[in-house]
Structure 1
Amino acid sequence: MTYETLIPVIRRLALEAGDKIMEIYNSNDFEVKAKSDESPVTAADEAADALISAGLRAAFPEILLVTEEQADSHTERGDTFLIVDPLDGTKEFIHRRGDFTVNIALVENGTPTRGVVYAPAKGRMFYTLADGQSVEETGALDKTDVGPVAPISVSGPDNGALMVVASKSHRDQATDDYINKYKVKDSKSAGSSLKFCLVATGEADLYPRVGRTMEWDTAAGHAVLQGAGGRVVRFDDHTPLTYGKQGYANPFFIAYAPGVELKEA
């Protein structure tokens, strides 16, 4: 596998999964079930997972694959792996708020190096090119013909005042207490890995997450942000957030533009 062969495949699979998700999203009704950890799952999660998993295993059979919907069966571990959240933001999907994404990423030596984040209800797609630069693709988002792409880049704080983005479904007092340590120009809420992408495009400067996430929730957004010049660090000691951890659970973290002077937790 090379980056040149990887990127077209994950881009196409994200778009195909997005079509399947929107087909179910736009139907009159869909069942919501609870997984073993009490988190919700729908037919859209399962259908997107099956589609992406089959595509990645066919294209890259030599690469370890980790997906949210098959997490209970993941016993093999490695330094290099593909990691997938087929429908990140299931709660946003269930409540028809649109802030959900398809996430596919490649992790190498503990770091997400390439990835795609597609928000089908919003028609926004972000991904890393083979050279690592992150772009947003606009236009028809055709599965075979790549449309116009524009490089994206983080911005710096405006006169020291930050635009902050936080979780739409999981914002709590601990998050607000941390945000209040900064001079804030404005704040917004967003679901799923779109929060990483808003920092990557300069639409936000800081995204603190004081709450539970898994590596498949964050890897693709992390890769996109990194390719746009941003950083993701642990909340407690500001060291880089790493991947391939036992159980694939993340510590609290902060995603930010490098011009932001981080405050202590």
Structure 2
Amino acid sequence: MDYEKLETVMRRLALEAGDKIMEIYNADDFDIKVKSDDSPVTEADEAADALISAGLKEAFPEAILITEEQAGTHDTRADTFLIVDPLDGTKEFIKRRGDFTVNIAWVESGVPVRGVVYAPAKDRMFFTRADGSSVEEAGPFSKDEVGTLTPIKVSEPDNDALFVVASKSHRDQATDDYISKYATKDMKSAGSSLKFCLIATGEADIYPRVGRTMEWDTAAGHAVLAGAGGRVVRFDDHQPLTYGKDGFANPFFIAYSPDVVLKEA
């Protein structure tokens, strides 16, 4: 893979998809449908998916592409592929809460090594550079010219006063029970893959996910976090979370700064 080209293409497509999403988000109304798994999908999901998929196929015709909105790609078996969630946080989008993201990632030998996470309603953009390091770009954003880039790095946490981030739409008792094992200073809620990015920037120390996710939900955020020195491990045995699993479904996991002393499940 040409990482320089990948960085440029992923960033540009994320911005273009973000523009399309915000055009629909700011409209008086938009169409909402229900998929076979009872999750919602909007015209913004579908429009962003069409734009990103076409752009990736044109730029990288030999690469395998997995995308949430194309069920036909979900039966693919591979450990090296592009993976897309064109609008992560659809529930946040529908409620007009702003915590939704565009996610594009490159997975290599089961590991997300490059990715972009763009939150268009919050004007925040995070991506991995060609060298694998992660940055946050300051807006306003231009598709043709990269703005000011700030290298990001995970925190050096105080295990007696941790900053925890948890899901906004999927918080449950099992999550709260696990968080209670830690000495926490503050806890915040965030939607979509922004939770990974908050750890990548040092704004939070740990994000436990005790609930269903798919690889397209996590790959881009995982790549950004890894490029900032963070880790993502399985909840049950603390082994690295890998990709290309059957059906692209994730087990429960923990994303964290490596200096956090993990508790057993």
Q: TM-score, normalised by structure 1?
A: 0.99
What is the correspondence of 1:147-162 to structure 2 with a 5 Å cutoff?
147-158=147-158, 160-162=160-162
Report the equivalent of 2:250. 250
Q: Aligned partners of 1:75 and 1:253: how far apart in 2? A: 23
Amino acid in structure 1 at the alignment position of 2:172: D
Deviation beyond 4 Å, 4+ runs, structure 1? none
RMSD of aligned residue pairs (Cα, Å): 0.8
Q: Aligned partners of 1:44 and 1:139: how far apart in 2? A: 22
Task: Compute the displacement of 1:159 (Å).
Answer: 5.9
1:81 has 2:77 as partner: no
- Name structure 2 gaps, 5 residues minimum: none
Q: Aligned partners of 1:199 and 1:261: how far apart in 2? A: 15
SS state of the match for residue 175, structure 2?
helix
Task: Compute the displacement of 1:77 (Å).
Answer: 2.2
Q: Aligned partners of 1:139 and 1:173: how far apart in 2? A: 37
Q: Aligned partners of 1:73 and 1:10: how far apart in 2? A: 19
1:189 has 2:189 as partner: yes
Task: Compute the displacement of 1:189 (Å).
Answer: 0.1
Task: Give the total of aligned pairs.
Answer: 265
**Maintained 8 Å contact 2:124/2:139:** no
- Is 135-144 or 13-22 further displaced after alignment? 135-144
Amino acid in structure 1 at the alignment position of 2:90: T
Task: Compute the displacement of 1:72 (Å).
Answer: 3.8
Report the equivalent of 1:219. 219
Task: Compute the displacement of 1:156 (Å).
Answer: 1.8
Q: Aligned partners of 2:250 and 2:86: how far apart in 1? A: 18
Amino acid in structure 2 at the alignment position of 1:148: T
Report the equivalent of 1:43. 43
Task: Compute the displacement of 1:73 (Å).
Answer: 4.1
Amino acid in structure 2 at the alignment position of 1:194: L
Q: Aligned partners of 1:233 and 1:73: how far apart in 2? A: 25
Please list the CA deviations of residues 186-208 of structure 1 after superposition, one character each: whole Å capped at 9, or x if unmatched. Answer: 00000000000000000000000
**Maintained 8 Å contact 2:138/2:149:** yes
Please list the CA deviations of residues 99-138 of structure 1 after superposition, one character each: whole Å capped at 9, or x if unmatched. Answer: 0000000000000000000000000000000000000000
1:25 has 2:25 as partner: yes
Q: Aligned partners of 1:255 and 1:61: how far apart in 2? A: 32
1:263 has 2:263 as partner: yes
Amino acid in structure 2 at the alignment position of 1:99: D
Task: Compute the displacement of 1:74 (Å).
Answer: 3.4
Amino acid in structure 1 at the alignment position of 2:124: R
Q: Aligned partners of 2:188 and 2:181: how far apart in 1? A: 16
Q: TM-score, normalised by structure 2?
A: 0.99
Q: Aligned partners of 1:74 and 1:214: how far apart in 2? A: 11
Report the equivalent of 1:178. 178
Aligned-residue identity in percent: 78
- Is 136-145 or 121-130 further displaced after alignment? 136-145
Amino acid in structure 2 at the alignment position of 1:244: G
Task: Compute the displacement of 1:63 (Å).
Answer: 0.3
